[in-house]
Chain A
Amino acid sequence: MQKAIKKYFPIFVLPTMIAFVIGFIAPFLLGIYLSFCKFTTVTDAEFIGLENYLKTLDDPEFIHSLWYTALFTITTVIIINVLAFAVALLLTKGIRGTNIFRTVFFMPNLIGGIVLGYVWQLLLNGILANFDRTLTYSEWFGFWGLVILVCWQQVGYMMIIYISGIQNIPGELIEAAKIDGASPSQILRNVTIPMVMPSITICTFLTLTNGFKLFDQNLALTNGAPSRMSELLAMNIYTTFYGRAGWEGVGQAKAVEFFILVSVIALIQNRLTRSKEVQQ
């Protein structure tokens, strides 16, 4: 059968491959190359070695956005996963209205980050107005505003994944633990959590990468104000490209560093939580 299919390569694979090369591979390779160049457009690129990379390390706004993003990501990963898991546990107890609650909690995920940013800007600025403050009063107002927004948005998504993980635990396992006299907290610690480890792996992975890559919500909610102090990494790279003439090469170098950072974190996270998974 392999032979018969093999000659159909142009029909089956080529369309996807052409688009993949245009949309992904070519920009990626060109991006790596340009990160070692000085340029204002692609055609006037001039090779300058590591200079762009050295400049990124000298950019205080970039370093600031680096740890600002790290802090933001850690905060959201913890809050989202704890809340989502707790809600999932409660919503698998068969209480009345479970389906409606699930529908409501998931809903924000379908609305785009830009729209949500402006929705929350209205609400949070409205509340802060009582204290004569706005979201852009300091970087920490923006920080917590963004944390609240992102948690509100993503808890529902992760909850759905945790619910399916909890529902996949064989009922006998919990029955057996009960017969052996395990308390609810023991069941949670020794049966439920180990059994939903695959879901935990997925959800921490998703929240981690979402946190690092966050852009739309940041743009709409604070737009980096005050004076670029509430800029996350993705937005810092964006403003380097499009806000500072002559810094395109540095922007590209930041983007490569960003890519390496995201890949390394994804790899480490995967190793760590996968090793805790149990075979069913």
Chain B
Amino acid sequence: MGTRKAKHGWILTIIFTIISLLYVYPIVLVFINSFKKKAYISKFPFKIPTDNMFVGLENYIRGIEQTGLIEAFGWSVFITVFSVAAIILCCSMCAWYISRVQTKVTKTIYVLCLFAMVVPFQMEMYTLSKISNMLKLGNPWGIVVIYLGFGAGLSVFMFTGFMRSIPLEIEEAAMIDGCTPIQTFFRIVMPISKPTCITVVILQAMWIWNDYLLPSLVLDQRKYKTIPMAVQYLKGGYGSVDMGAMMGTLVLAIVPIIIFYLFCQRYIIEGVVAGAVKG
């Protein structure tokens, strides 16, 4: 494909450069406004902050103080890392079992996982928040269990799809050489499944990191907040929104993701493509 050069390539390059600049403009605008005095933000959102509008880092400091953003960042990292780790470990094991053992039970599990992918969260949200309350899962450890249950549908489905394509001979050879199923799984199956692992990690991490509704219903909001909850808290917690603090918080919520994205974009884009093709 690369050899097929467009005739007027440079015109397209210029057009796309302009579109790209427009594309990042909303985020740049928030960045510019985060240095403005809060009274000027809604009135003059398109002005560059000059002398009397400029407030330095004040908005950031207020944003962090009002939302507890640093802590929220910590909880977001905690919940995302442990939930994704649990999903990868448990769902890959489950998927290997149901792709190797053919019984009515395993077939049912597989069908239920397919089914779970269609059900919208609104169907579950009320009862889930009550159940998690009863089982005392309203803390960052408990929510890991819920994310494992909720992410199981897609993850088991994707792992099963891949593991069915692994030739059985490799595993049989390992078992004949004396490996237990657990050793076979961790030494043979897991290393082969690495590409699927990456795909599942990316899809689930994108979902869990940005999820607002589930943690806001399940977590005890006085003690634990995730980043989306912290942002929304600025709106809900005060009568009129402090636009300055809002701008500062938004920038702080966006910057880590963009840095992460620039480092891992190849994996992220490949993961999305692979996920879409299988899903």
By a beta-carbon cutoff of 8 Å, the part of chain A in contact with chain B is 1-2, 4-6, 8-9, 11-13, 15-28, 30-31, 34, 41-42, 90-97, 100-115, 118-120, 122-123, 125-126, 129, 152, 157, 160-161, 164, 167, 171, 198-199, 202-203, 206, 212-213, 215-216, 219-220, 223, 233-234, 237-238, 241, 248, 251-252, 254-256, 258-259, 262-263, 266
Contacts and interface: CB of A to CB of B under 8 A. Distances in A.
Contact of A94 (B6, B127, B172): B6
Given A12-B96, A22-B146, A161-B272, A112 B120 contact: no
B181 A94 contact: no
Given A9-B97, A24-B152, A97 B16 contact: yes
A24 B109 contact: no
Interface in B207-228: 209-213, 227-228
11 contacts: A24-B153, A42-B127, A42-B130, A106-B269, A115-B227, A118-B250, A119-B29, A120-B26, A160-B272, A223-B235, A255-B126
Given A11-B182, A19-B149, A31-B123, A95 B131 contact: no
A202 B276 contact: yes
Interface in B15-31: 16-17, 19-20, 23-27, 29-30
Given A161-B276, A263-B118, A1 B175 contact: yes
Given A6-B101, A152-B23, A164-B273, 4 more contacts: A1-B175, A12-B185, A13-B98, A161-B277
Interface in B164-213: 168, 171-172, 175, 181-182, 185, 206, 209-213
A103 B24 CA distance: 11
Interface string B27-62: 101100100000001110110000000000000000
Contacts of A157: 272
B109 A17 contact: yes
Contacts of B6: 93-95
Contact of B120 (A5, A27, A161, A262): A262
Nearest to B148: A19
Nearest to B27: A119
Interface string B89-129: 01101101110111100100100110010111111111110
Given A28-B124, A42-B127, A248-B126, A93 B12 contact: yes
B108 to A, nearest CB: 11
Nearest to B185: A12
Interface in B147-166: 147-150, 152-153, 156
Given A2-B101, A23-B149, A114-B232, A262 B26 contact: no
B64 to A, nearest CB: 16
B228 A114 contact: yes
Shortest Cβ-Cβ A-B pairs, 7 listed = A23-B149, A112-B210, A126-B45, A19-B149, A12-B97, A19-B148, A27-B127
B84 interface: no
B112 A25 contact: yes
Contacts of A129: 42-43, 45
A251 B124 CA distance: 11
A94 B4 contact: yes
Contact of A110 (B94, B132, B153, B268): B268
A92 B1 contact: yes
Contacts of B126: 31, 34, 241, 248, 251-252, 255
Nearest to A259: B123
A16 B93 contact: yes
A12 B128 contact: no
Contact of A24 (B25, B124, B168, B262): B124
A17 B130 CA distance: 20
Nearest to B143: A23
B130 A19 contact: no
A112 B212 contact: yes
B224 to A, nearest CB: 16
Contacts of A8: 97, 181-182
B89 to A, nearest CB: 8
A93 B91 CA distance: 40
B20 A94 contact: no
B123 A255 contact: yes
Contact of A164 (B101, B262, B277, B279): B277
Nearest to A6: B101
B240 interface: no
B70 interface: no
Given A96-B9, A251-B126, A20 B146 contact: no
